[in-house]
Amino acid sequence: MRQSRIGIRHLRCAIGVADAGGFRAAAEMLGIAQPAITKTIRDMEEDLGFEIFERGPKAVSLTAPGRRFIEDARQSLAQFERTIRAARRNETGSHGHVIIGYSALASSGHISDGLRGFEALCPGVQIEMHVLSTDTMMRQLAGGEIDAGFLLSHETVAHPAISQQPVWSSPIGLVLPRDAPDPDFETLSGAPFVMGLRENWRAYRLLLDRLCAEAGLVPQVTEEVWDVQVLFQRVAEGRGYTLYPMDAAPALPASLRMLALSRLRGSLTISMAWNHVADTALLRSFRAQFGREETAHMAR
Amino acid sequence: MRQSRIGIRHLRCAIGVADAGGFRAAAEMLGIAQPAITKTIRDMEEDLGFEIFERGPKAVSLTAPGRRFIEDARQSLAQFERTIRAARRNETGSHGHVIIGYSALASSGHISDGLRGFEALCPGVQIEMHVLSTDTMMRQLAGGEIDAGFLLSHETVAHPAISQQPVWSSPIGLVLPRDAPDPDFETLSGAPFVMGLRENWRAYRLLLDRLCAEAGLVPQVTEEVWDVQVLFQRVAEGRGYTLYPMDAAPALPASLRMLALSRLRGSLTISMAWNHVADTALLRSFRAQFGREETAHMAR
DNA sequence: TCGATTGATCGCAAATGGTTATCGCCCAAG
DNA sequence: CTTGGGCGATAACCATTTGCGATCAATCGA
């Protein structure tokens, strides 16, 4: 069979059109002129032998085979870019580049230990860390935007393309102002609580719901905030308590303290997650730092 | 960070040099002139920021980071080509292209059933089938040369990048000329046997060794042959018996017949194997035909 | 020391990827 | 019903990339 003249550029272009929803929009997004898009897409369609896009008068849409192709092309492009990124050395002397996502809840010393080990093994590798919500992290892992992530283990956090492996667990404690008195567990029900917004803290809130229900605790959520910094600030201001993994105690602002709640059973587990299609030598080394990875695995 | 100007062409070139062991040899293999290789490699090295190849006076060799990079690049290139191949339609009207390897031992009706199901689901997809030894198949799966394979399950057949899933099992029977009398099991020990060459039939021969030892059968291997056709031909000529999965009975030449050996316990299991990095929508459909694939899988 | 063989270099031709300007089309707002 | 604005397609043109043949410099074995 005649070998294809399609290159990475073509995939970028097609994915751009699919995401932008139009040739002109894609041209702007990719920083090139619109006719170049037209030509690239046409060349690719000719090579593949089918139309990727349906040119409607109002907007373009994917044909059925086009949708399948774009889906595969995303993986292919992500893998390609990972390969380059993992090998590339920049001007500042680092060799290789790994992009990691982590949940705000995972901000304990455990990650640092693993990272230190990785750094010793592969010195000079640049590690880029992004704080992301669990759901965003899953999406970005699936799309290949990040290489690995540390997120909350929860039965609702799953994706066919993503593998997960528990890394550590921590009990949940009560966060309160340093100078506040220890409350009785019974008085907590009905007491004001500040919590992360359900939309962004979905899995953690679900976990807390279950643990609280089991312990007979009914926190009165009087305020919901977007991120951890604000959460702690509000607690420090006396707006209410909040629940947080005990592991994070050392990272707490000086104005706050943590109280173990023996009646609150169960714990929060952080897992490392990665797209099992995402595979470079560098990422294998990285994952190896966080527990043994399965080798040949016999499915089902 | 400045985006890389490396494309698929560069990867092909680097892999070519690594495989051919020299710039000139790679040029010939890739069908282009040698200066183009020099320039492409130099551009790539400049972009990546390190030397991929060590230019020795006699031959080129990979540097340490170069070796890692080439390893990743192979996966990346294989995935890219799979993506194109899976989508491409050729002049004869087929859409998509899947390359499958199968062991000669797997030549039963079970594969046909799955293939028929796949064809119904994805009509017009071109399926290219290669008969390969189990070891060759593992190597080609790892290298992305084939998309999936049906091979003999055996504890010595494993590779960290390859997933396997049992598809069916078959007892082992005795193959003998149609007009030969049924031998007593006891008389088989010491009787002449024709077998596949150990080199090419490694895993199957290991399996037979174990089963025979357990049954107290000591076949006298008087001849070793390279492939099945010759194997059957030799048996038909009366050179000896052979052992073969009972499932293959319908595929046997008319001059041969099969005899169940109740004393020979255990069976041969055929597994579907695939590189878990190899992932296109088309391949997922294919694998789905041969049993449920694991979804989100929790490592360890 | 002399080929033979290796990768590097040079200059030129072709292919590729991109540009601007413009077209024809369809829909929606006037 | 017209018309303006937005869409992708097309045309003509330009810069860069890619590949070529010819040639060079270095090395190694005979």
Three-state SS letters, B35-67: HHHHHHHHHHHHHHCCCCEEECCCCEEECHHHH
Cβ contacts (< 8 Å) between B285 and chain A: which residues? none
Q: Which CATH architecture has domain B169-267?
A: 3-Layer(aba) Sandwich (3.40)
Beta-carbon separation of A72 and B279 below 8 A: yes
Q: Which nucleotide is nearest to B7 (CA to C1')?
A: D17
Beta-strand relationship, B97-102 and B242-245 = unpaired
Q: Which residues are registered as beta bridge partners of B168?
A: B270
Q: What's the gap in Å between the CA of B284 and the closest CA on chain A? A: 11
Helix, strand and coil content of chain B, in percent to the nearest 5, comes to 40, 25, 35
Q: Looking at residues B107-126, what average pLDDT do you find? A: 87
Cβ contacts (< 8 Å) between A297 and chain B: which residues? 163, 297
The 8-class DSSP code of residue B251 comes to: G
Cβ contacts (< 8 Å) between A90 and chain B: which residues? 1, 49
Helix, strand and coil content of chain A, in percent to the nearest 5, comes to 40, 25, 35
Residue of A nearest to B65 (CA): A87
The 8-class DSSP code of residue B108 comes to: S
Interface of A with B in 38-67 (CB under 8 A): 47-50, 65
d(CA B222, CA B194): 6
d(CA A14, CA A74): 10
| CB contact A295 to B (< 8 Å) | yes
Cβ contacts (< 8 Å) between B79 and chain A: which residues? 75-76, 79-80, 277
Predicted local distance difference test score (pLDDT) of residue B2: 65
Interface of A with B in 118-137 (CB under 8 A): none
Handedness of CA A150, A153, A156, A158 (dihedral sign): positive
**Phi, psi (deg, nearest 5) at residue A223:** -155, 140
Between B87, B162, B166, which is nearest A296 by CB?
Answer: B162
Q: Is the per-residue pLDDT at B173 higher than 70?
A: yes
User: Please, which residues have CB within 8 angstroms of residue B60's CB and are 6 or more apart in sequence?
Assistant: B17, B21, B22, B23, B53, B54
d(CA B63, CA A37): 38
Predicted local distance difference test score (pLDDT) of residue A1: 59
> Mind listing the pLDDT tens digit for each residue in B211-260?
999 999 999 999 999 989 999 999 999 999 999 999 999 889 999 999 99
- Please, is A61 exposed, middle or buried when counting C-beta atoms within 10 Å of its C-beta (0-12, 13-18, 19+)? middle
Q: Which nucleotide is nearest to A21 (CA to C1')?
A: D7
Beta-carbon separation of B48 and A88 below 8 A: yes
Predicted local distance difference test score (pLDDT) of residue B294: 45
| Three-state secondary-structure class, residue B121 | helix
Q: Which nucleotide is nearest to B34 (CA to C1')?
A: C7
State which protein residues have CB closer than 7 Å to strand D: A 22-25, 34-35, 38-39, 41-42, 55, 57, 59-60; B 5, 7, 9, 27, 31-36, 39-40, 43, 57-58
Predicted local distance difference test score (pLDDT) of residue B195: 96
Beta-carbon separation of B72 and A7 below 8 A: no
CA of A88 to C1' of C10 (A): 30
Percent of chain B with pLDDT over 90: 79
Predicted local distance difference test score (pLDDT) of residue B1: 59
Record the pTM.
0.89
CA of A20 to C1' of C16 (A): 25
Q: Is the per-residue pLDDT at B300 higher than 80?
A: no
Predicted local distance difference test score (pLDDT) of residue B109: 78
| CB contact A87 to B (< 8 Å) | yes
Cβ contacts (< 8 Å) between B158 and chain A: which residues? 295-296
Beta-carbon separation of A89 and B7 below 8 A: no
Which residue bears the tokens 């010195």? A123
Domain at A8-87, CATH class:
mainly alpha
CA of B153 to C1' of C10 (A): 57
Q: What's the pLDDT band for B113 if we cut at 50, 70, 90?
A: confident
d(CA A125, CA A119): 7
For residues A93, A95, A97, A100, the Cα torsion angle rounded to the nearest 10 degrees is -90
| Three-state secondary-structure class, residue B165 | strand
A241, two tokens: 């308590």
Between B79, B95, B279, which is nearest A65 by CB?
Answer: B95
Poorest-pLDDT segment among A233-247, B21-35, B79-93: B79-93
Q: Which residues are registered as beta bridge partners of B162?
A: B275
Predicted local distance difference test score (pLDDT) of residue A279: 87
Question: Which of A246, A232, A264, A254 lies closest to A179, judged by CA?
Answer: A254
Q: What's the gap in Å between the CA of A152 and the closest CA on chain B? A: 13
Predicted local distance difference test score (pLDDT) of residue A111: 86
The residue type found at B176 is L
Strand D bases contacted by the protein (CB, 7 Å): 6-12, 17-22, 26-29
| CB contact B80 to A (< 8 Å) | yes
Q: Which CATH architecture has domain A97-168+269-288?
A: 3-Layer(aba) Sandwich (3.40)
Q: Is the per-residue pLDDT at B145 higher than 70?
A: yes
Beta-carbon separation of B296 and A50 below 8 A: no
Predicted local distance difference test score (pLDDT) of residue B266: 86
Predicted local distance difference test score (pLDDT) of residue A149: 96
Question: Which of A60, A30, A58 lies closest to A45, judged by CA?
Answer: A60
Q: Looking at residues B102-130, what average pLDDT do you find? A: 89
Q: Which nucleotide is nearest to B55 (CA to C1')?
A: C7
Cβ contacts (< 8 Å) between A71 and chain B: which residues? 281
| Three-state secondary-structure class, residue B218 | coil
Q: Is the per-residue pLDDT at B297 higher than 60?
A: no
Q: Where in chain A is the domain with CATH 1.10.10.10?
A: 8-87
Q: Does strand C come within 7 Å of the CB of B38? A: yes
Q: Which nucleotide is nearest to A57 (CA to C1')?
A: C26
Residues in chain A with pLDDT values less than 70: 1-2, 292-300
pLDDT, chain B, mean: 91
Distances (CA, A) of B233 to B62, B138, B172, B175, B237: 47, 28, 19, 11, 6
Best to test chain B binding among A2, A68, A74, A167 (most B CBs inside 10 Å): A68
Between A73, A87, A299, which is nearest B72 by CB?
Answer: A87
Predicted local distance difference test score (pLDDT) of residue B298: 41
Query: Phi/psi class of residue B287: alpha, beta or left (left: φ > 0; alpha: ψ in -120 to 50)?
Result: alpha
Cβ contacts (< 8 Å) between B76 and chain A: which residues? 76, 79-80, 82-83
Distances (CA, A) of A254 to A177, A178, A179, A250, B136: 9, 8, 11, 9, 62
- Please, is A98 exposed, middle or buried when counting C-beta atoms within 10 Å of its C-beta (0-12, 13-18, 19+)? buried
| CB contact A294 to B (< 8 Å) | yes
- Crossing angle of helices A64-87 and A8-20, in 10° steps, is 120
Q: Where in chain B is the domain with CATH 3.40.190.10?
A: 97-168+269-288, 169-267
Q: How many CB pairs under 8 A join A and B?
A: 164
